[in-house]
Structure 1
Amino acid sequence: MAIRLGGSCLNSAPSVDLPPIREDEPMARHASWRAGGRTRYYSEAHSAIQALALAAWAMERNLPLLWVGRGTNLLVRDAGYPGLLVSHRAQAWRLEDHGDSALLHVEAGSPMAGLARRITRMGWAGLVWAEGLPGSVGGAVVGNAGCYGGDVATSLVSAELLLGGQVVTWPVERFGFGYRMSVLKRGGEAERRGGEASERGEEGESGRGGDVDSGSGEEAESGGAEAHPASRIPH
């Protein structure tokens, strides 16, 4: 069954068991640098529904909320973080094959490099540039990650964000992408206490996003993205 989140409100999110929330958690355990301060609360979201539930939990307690990927290049200050820090681990994806083109739906926690390699092995050329890119999809959207002549801005179609308690969909034009920059990273119209959520449908081919342990140090409001893997690789 496909879960439709667009337009939903945190206060009306379906009831779900919260994932474990740990207090006074050393972030050195979760950062690639193996260093950093503590966070007052820490949890991991492995699905869109868990992400919504954690965001609601933080809002009910008026806690600051920070979303990260898998800890690559993440360093928490020695003074620590005073709210709830959530590592977004949801990494489901599905591919709509339209013959000579395709549309990829992917959750924010998917490791970018592993996903790109998987899509390339399937014969699609659009994410070849990202095969060595560290970090997760959510962080890549926030920072317009790129290398080898490609970047998120040239591949993204739209992404789902959680802003002001509402899940909204932004087209690529709304992000104001520049070199390693977006309105999310600049803190423009995006609410910095926002969360992230995404959607997974059962139609099409689905799988897990890769074989690398990578993430993003950015505060990622994006939770799900649609991208064009472009044309098939010629044989």
Structure 2
Amino acid sequence: MNLSEKIIDERKKKGWSQEELADKLDVSRQSVSKWEGGLSTPEVEKIVKMAELFGVSTDYLLNYKVEKETENNLYEQKPLRVVSLNEATEFLSVRAEVLKKIALACAICVTSPIIPLILIGSSYFKALDLPLGGAVAIAFLFLLIHVSFAVVIFIRQGFKLEKYHYLLKEKFVLGEGVEKMVKEKLAQMRNGGIAALCAGIVLCILGAMPIVIGALMEVSNFTLVCLTAALLFVVSIAIYLLAGICGGCVSYRAFLHNKNK
């Protein structure tokens, strides 16, 4: 088949009219009609766009030899999904929200030893009149509830992304306006992402300073336990900033990277 025949064949496979294909390519229906009638040849950029829309290579559209070598395999391959603007907006919005909640669950896991540390430390170092066995029992119960809550969040967020598995694991083609929307969102998020990244790194560095200073000043063992608990809390905030806020920027970049090239 020549180029005009391939355009007709691929358009019909998608179930598109000449007018629908023209809208996706931002040309007139008459232009598509001339291409399919062999009266004119599409510009290079339109051929590239058609290849993306049809889920085929530009070589297939332009080269007769490629058709002969790949014709059998071509029709066996599943056409790439075209992701619409609404679909992409919904997915990225859900994924950003999911990332924040997963970051929250990670922060919960990091903070889960705080109360157990203080309880057991206060009992062991006699800061509170609490039997060590009772402190361990309460600490274990608190830790179990804390981690279970985080696990529930992980599972629920995983289910929210299940319906978008094809956007996470497969290649796809971006519909009209999608790439522009994603790049605009990235530009809007860039400053916030950089600020969150810097804040997270600074918190991780500064969070350890009280422990170092406390050790040098030879504070009590129970005070060091409390400082360790404080460090875990600071690290949990850093994790939320790095995974929840910066993760949104990474999510948008990953979306563009996963498109079919």
Q: For the superposition of Structure 1 and Structure 2, which TM-score range results when normalised by the shorter chain?
A: under 0.3
Higher helix share: 2
TM-score after normalising by structure 2: 0.21
In the superposition, the TM-score normalised over structure 1's length comes to 0.23
Higher strand share: 1
The structure whose Rg is larger is 2
